[in-house]
Amino acid sequence: MIRLVPPARLASAGKVASAFDLSAVELVQLTATQKKRITDTAEGDWHTRYSDEVAVEAVTPDYASCLVTMHVMSGAEGDPRAGCFELTIVVRAHFSRVPKIEIAESDISEFLALNGLFAAWPYLREIASSTVVRMGFPPFVLDPLVLRPEPSPEAVEKHRAEQATKSGKLGDVTTKPAT
């Protein structure tokens, strides 16, 4: 999964990254609810929906930690499999602080918001996947997380104009030879 992040947020989190090392990822909570049996659902591809959030838990001179929560639900809106299962996974990401590097508190919060999710993502993927299989549902795997800079509004507009020109919707003039 590609997550677009404003370049300023990436830069802020990046400059803080040298001041912290990931020291632990700890499972805090796993709630798995099966609401429908697998035989009660239609055949075909499975779709899942999910959401995630990161909350700063602690910032001290020696470490910082955050809680990363992911909710995974089966089925898209209107899908007969919607509501077959729901998962709530909470993990704590601990980062030890490298001494003698001064960092502003706001930059640490930005670092935790992005890097906490990025560090926890492989664990969240594995927990979600293995839990769903153990509940008797077909296997699924969440895509890897990729953080990319969000394009500027100018770049988006330029791309749209190029695509419209290629598809003939803008600036494509066709002339017929005179007979």
Report the alpha-carbon distance of residue 164 to residue 162 in Å, rounded.
Answer: 5
- Average pLDDT per consecutive 10 residues, the chain (179 residues; last block may be shorter): 82 86 96 78 68 93 94 80 88 92 85 93 94 85 86 81 68 41
13 in Cβ contact with 111 (< 8 Å):
yes
C-alpha dihedral sign at 103, 107, 112, 118: negative
Q: Provide the residue type at 32 as one letter.
A: A
pTM: 0.78
In the chain, the domains with their CATH numbers are: 2-166 (3.10.420.10)
Nearest 5 degrees, angle CA 52-CA 56-CA 61?
A: 150
Name residues whose C-beta falls within 8 Å of residue 24's C-beta, 6 or more positions apart in sequence. 92, 93, 94
